[in-house]
Structure 1
């Protein structure tokens, strides 16, 4: 989920969740109106209050949905805001505890369970003060401005003046993050030097950008031509003054902070377990990202089992083309064969676009309910492509008329093999992230917190499952494409081993790199970038395979129980039509559906 600055909304939500699990709005009147349990309190009141509360947590996303009250605000991750948030969440916990859940049914019960899950995780996160470390290898708070800019079309003078207020508050937002990171330095809660170097390079590049190219000025390009030219000129001139007088000095101060303070204090160790209370923190992150009670050691063993299984499938594809060498020789052959590469950026985008339309043509027979929001294939911005992953999804906004985007990294074309492209398109585009996220955005009958809920295990699990789903429509026509799909699946299986290895078993970076080098056909550039990502973002890599395996298991249960009465389209609609949720709730939902439809089996 990306925009032109490179920050992903999916990544933003996960960052906010894993770093702070939301924050009240910087510059806002803090919402204290979360009442204690009243005599007439019921789940309806709680849902409305919780929905209002969560709207304040991420004003950037709220504004992108058209919430004018959030249009001048940035997230507030200050200790004071976190304490206010914690008090509000504890009040919600008390109100929920007073409910008789046995009397709840349907949507009311699902709403209650989702709030309890999300709220309890957020309360527990406060023990670890994760806002001390607000960046990873390819994402961070310093990209928030670009995300907001690309999701803030200015349709009127009022919109522009809201944006000018928000621009003026950017230095306060940056200063707050510096204060949090200084607290991390004092307490030893910092990123490894390897990751800090990447962040320092990014913020220095932002500081060096010419003022006229500052992302905060991009919204002014959307001012309507019907607005008087003098007004448009005056508004942009105000923005340029703010960039010159406020934003650029703040960006330079941030770059100095990273160079002079953060880099010298960064750690030589890699794993989260080396942080203060690090092992407890990692166990918490595992639960958050997988929505299960699996232990790190159980996940490690599961990853090893999946690696062995996928290797057997890969060997079948090697046999199918008559290759006589071993796995490494076959991978070397594929990496060296020019038929699997294009030579221009445009050609890669055209290949991705063709695959996307091929899937579009078959979607109605895979999924019953499809979103109205369209999507396009876009190039990852060249300013951030160097350390960027192969591709991501940039969600649109139905409220603001912004389409979704399948982002493709077009750098290093000699390391962008075409045999990986079908899986990438299916995962990041359709039927993966675009279908799931756009459908959720359009569920206007659900509370806002339900539409925005984004747990890695569900969101990434669905996207990884989608890579297998499209095998039914011949997206992998030869053993080479099938091998490429298996390599992509192996990549996610390796994540289970690598993430636990790094953060629980004290693996070195070389040990982690070897897992991908020895078991996948991924290009070396991708292997390097992805390993950095797992080092910097503990736990997040686990949700993909855990979620995919859960959805596959539920499908197999349904196929076995319903026989010829199994309807693939109905199953996919069932998984998607209540939005993202923890895997245990999804499992219960599917099993209830199986029980209700068992009579359809002949």
Structure 2
């Protein structure tokens, strides 16, 4: 009897277990798990970076600007990273292809570096003269940037977004007051540059106000009724919201923040300290290099490039030392030929026309996204350098090379061929657009940005000038050397300011002695490094790695080395940490060597 009961029990349990197995869905294969995780990470992450969504042409958050400075926001963002960090551990890497493994590695890096960054209280210094969110929002307000103004809903979205942004601005002021009490405060020279950026928005008449710009150019499809309502709404927004908040900010900056500003200039002189600078080096170079090693590398590069500059000086027959040659280039009116801003844009168009026939020789894959050259908006052109604004993911908005032209008669062209290569083609426009157009990349990687790769690529492309038919004029070649010197100097002065106790004045003097930039431009650059420690290191570190990888391919493959294939291997990945790029190129070289 007992035996029979045991047999029945065993049969019952066996059937039950079988039924349970049949009713339990099979776990998705690792590639599918990863694909879904990457998709979810990207989509969910847009809520934490609404600017990225707008810049990519994704309209979901165009009416929002979350208070990124609030504790609730920061806690949610940290939980977001922790959730995906945990989920990554459950994916079996042995089932992944090389491309999928790369995506997993990139995501791991992205989560790790962002979580590390959240351990520092940098948000107690949320506003500076170049990098802060208020400048991005002001760019949107101009109606010439990524924020769309095509429909009535677009115009209404912007009104809502401005309301959110003004909450952020008040939170920024609150944080800055807390920073004043605890030592997290900007150096005084930077505060001096911030004040005018707010003054213009506090005092401009409504019809001339930046935030009124969208209603000056309504689409033809708008009804008169819609126009009247929007004009009233935008007038109210400017007069009763934007201007009062900016008036309060100007008063705060002048009366409270400037007097409390730091007399010292490096980040080590704040509670963020050397640990934050180490983090910034890692974030921006995607390496574990030390400040000392980077400083020494910079000094070596400065010496090497000075030697090349001297050769050019000899070639053009200049009598005098290198410093005198710098002054000659800075002040020679022959290099300042323009009287109208439209001539500057035409000049860049002519550079592109020279390059076009040669581009196919170096690049088999070229972007479909259109491209334009534009003048930097007047409200910010006195305090920013030339830059590239990516096109939208769907290709409907072009990539734009912005060049500041505050004084057209002082616009010096000696270094502008290499500037076009860097900011436009085949620099940022090729690299960013090809990544966005690559259907094999998950959305997460299409808009990812690592400065060492992105800026390293752009600086690397400056060295392609002769291959692209440029630098025939020795002064333009000297301009390329000057730009490379500029990035080499950054290795020295950025580490000098933030790790070696250099003052702003020391850094300015070192730059003046080693490059041909005008003094005012050099001052703006040094203050840029003060505001965002480590960012300036990424260019040269990335460029040197790309040159190293190209030389490795040329040496190992010999006549079999295909420069177009090499460029494809680099560009098809999108932005990735340099270590991952090096591993990929090594695999490519090894594959070419296989019989």
Pick aligned residue for 1:133 from 125, 129, 143: 125
1:368 partnered with 2:364: yes
SS at match of 1:469: coil
Pick aligned residue for 2:489 from 494, 498, 519: 494
Pick aligned residue for 1:245 from 216, 231, 240: 240
Please report how far the alpha carbon of residue 467 of structure 1 lies from its aligned counterpart in structure 2 after TM superposition.
Answer: 0.6
Is the Cα–Cα contact under 8 Å of residues 427 and 433 in structure 1 kept in the other structure? yes
Query: CA, structure 1 residues 335+72, in 2 after alignment: closer, same or farther (shift >3 Å)?
Result: closer
**Counterparts of 1:541-552 in structure 2 under 5 Å?**
541-552=536-547
Question: For each residue in 1:527-584, what CA deviation from the matched residue of structure 2 results, as whole angstroms up to 9, or x when unmatched?
Answer: 1111111112110100000000001100001111111111111111111112111101
Please report how far the alpha carbon of residue 233 of structure 1 lies from its aligned counterpart in structure 2 after TM superposition.
Answer: 2.4
Residue of structure 1 in register with 2:116 after alignment: 124
TM-score by length of 1: 0.89
The CA RMSD over aligned residues, in Å, is: 2.1
Is the Cα–Cα contact under 8 Å of residues 375 and 403 in structure 2 kept in the other structure? yes
Pick aligned residue for 1:402 from 382, 385, 397: 397
1:258 partnered with 2:243: no
Take 2:356 and 2:536, find their aligned partners in 1: how far apart are those partners? 28
Is the Cα–Cα contact under 8 Å of residues 406 and 429 in structure 1 kept in the other structure? yes
Query: CA, structure 1 residues 104+367, in 2 after alignment: closer, same or farther (shift >3 Å)?
Result: same
Structure 1 unmatched runs, 5+: 1-37
Is the Cα–Cα contact under 8 Å of residues 370 and 395 in structure 2 kept in the other structure? no
Residue of structure 1 in register with 2:62 after alignment: 71
**Counterparts of 1:237-316 in structure 2 under 5 Å?**
237-316=232-311
Take 2:171 and 2:191, find their aligned partners in 1: how far apart are those partners? 18
Pick aligned residue for 1:476 from 458, 468, 471: 471
Aligned residues: 562
Is the Cα–Cα contact under 8 Å of residues 345 and 411 in structure 1 kept in the other structure? no
Residue of structure 2 in register with 1:105 after alignment: 97
Please report how far the alpha carbon of residue 143 of structure 1 lies from its aligned counterpart in structure 2 after TM superposition.
Answer: 1.6
Query: CA, structure 1 residues 339+160, in 2 after alignment: closer, same or farther (shift >3 Å)?
Result: closer
Please report how far the alpha carbon of residue 523 of structure 1 lies from its aligned counterpart in structure 2 after TM superposition.
Answer: 1.6
Q: Detail structure 1 runs of 4+ shifted over 6 Å in the superposition.
A: none
Take 1:526 and 1:59, find their aligned partners in 2: how far apart are those partners? 32
Take 2:372 and 2:435, find their aligned partners in 1: how far apart are those partners? 18
1:90 partnered with 2:85: no
Pick aligned residue for 2:434 from 429, 439, 449: 439
Pick aligned residue for 2:322 from 322, 327, 336: 327
Take 1:360 and 1:255, find their aligned partners in 2: how far apart are those partners? 48
Residue of structure 1 in register with 2:37 after alignment: 46
Please report how far the alpha carbon of residue 494 of structure 1 lies from its aligned counterpart in structure 2 after TM superposition.
Answer: 0.3
SS at match of 2:48: coil
Residue of structure 1 in register with 2:384 after alignment: 388
Is the Cα–Cα contact under 8 Å of residues 341 and 417 in structure 1 kept in the other structure? yes
Is the Cα–Cα contact under 8 Å of residues 341 and 416 in structure 1 kept in the other structure? yes
Pick aligned residue for 1:215 from 194, 210, 218: 210
Is the Cα–Cα contact under 8 Å of residues 358 and 467 in structure 2 kept in the other structure? no
Is the Cα–Cα contact under 8 Å of residues 60 and 75 in structure 1 kept in the other structure? no
Take 1:546 and 1:169, find their aligned partners in 2: how far apart are those partners? 38
Structure 2 unmatched runs, 5+: 1-25
Please report how far the alpha carbon of residue 412 of structure 1 lies from its aligned counterpart in structure 2 after TM superposition.
Answer: 4.0
Residue of structure 2 in register with 1:12 after alignment: none
Query: CA, structure 1 residues 215+145, in 2 after alignment: closer, same or farther (shift >3 Å)?
Result: farther
Take 1:170 and 1:112, find their aligned partners in 2: how far apart are those partners? 34
Q: Which moved more, 1:271-280 or 1:130-139?
A: 130-139
Residue of structure 2 in register with 1:57 after alignment: 48
Pick aligned residue for 1:514 from 509, 514, 524: 509
Is the Cα–Cα contact under 8 Å of residues 197 and 379 in structure 2 kept in the other structure? no
Take 1:478 and 1:92, find their aligned partners in 2: how far apart are those partners? 53
Query: CA, structure 1 residues 413+517, in 2 after alignment: closer, same or farther (shift >3 Å)?
Result: farther
Residue of structure 2 in register with 1:573 after alignment: 568
Q: Which moved more, 1:482-491 or 1:341-350?
A: 341-350
Residue of structure 1 in register with 2:201 after alignment: 206
TM-score by length of 2: 0.90
Q: Which moved more, 1:159-168 or 1:457-466?
A: 159-168
Is the Cα–Cα contact under 8 Å of residues 460 and 547 in structure 2 kept in the other structure? yes
Please report how far the alpha carbon of residue 333 of structure 1 lies from its aligned counterpart in structure 2 after TM superposition.
Answer: 2.8
Question: For each residue in 1:176-224, what CA deviation from the matched residue of structure 2 results, as whole angstroms up to 9, or x when unmatched?
Answer: 2222322322321111011011112211122122222333333445643
Take 1:359 and 1:237, find their aligned partners in 2: how far apart are those partners? 49
Please report how far the alpha carbon of residue 415 of structure 1 lies from its aligned counterpart in structure 2 after TM superposition.
Answer: 4.9
Query: CA, structure 1 residues 185+351, in 2 after alignment: closer, same or farther (shift >3 Å)?
Result: same
Query: CA, structure 1 residues 229+412, in 2 after alignment: closer, same or farther (shift >3 Å)?
Result: closer
Take 1:519 and 1:571, find their aligned partners in 2: how far apart are those partners? 33
Is the Cα–Cα contact under 8 Å of residues 131 and 531 in structure 2 kept in the other structure? no
Query: CA, structure 1 residues 433+75, in 2 after alignment: closer, same or farther (shift >3 Å)?
Result: farther
Is the Cα–Cα contact under 8 Å of residues 415 and 525 in structure 1 kept in the other structure? no
Is the Cα–Cα contact under 8 Å of residues 60 and 73 in structure 1 kept in the other structure? no
Q: Which moved more, 1:452-461 or 1:368-377?
A: 368-377
Is the Cα–Cα contact under 8 Å of residues 64 and 400 in structure 1 kept in the other structure? no
Please report how far the alpha carbon of residue 237 of structure 1 lies from its aligned counterpart in structure 2 after TM superposition.
Answer: 2.1
Is the Cα–Cα contact under 8 Å of residues 273 and 279 in structure 1 kept in the other structure? yes
Residue of structure 1 in register with 2:153 after alignment: 158
Please report how far the alpha carbon of residue 447 of structure 1 lies from its aligned counterpart in structure 2 after TM superposition.
Answer: 2.5
Q: Which moved more, 1:329-338 or 1:494-503?
A: 329-338
Please report how far the alpha carbon of residue 147 of structure 1 lies from its aligned counterpart in structure 2 after TM superposition.
Answer: 2.8
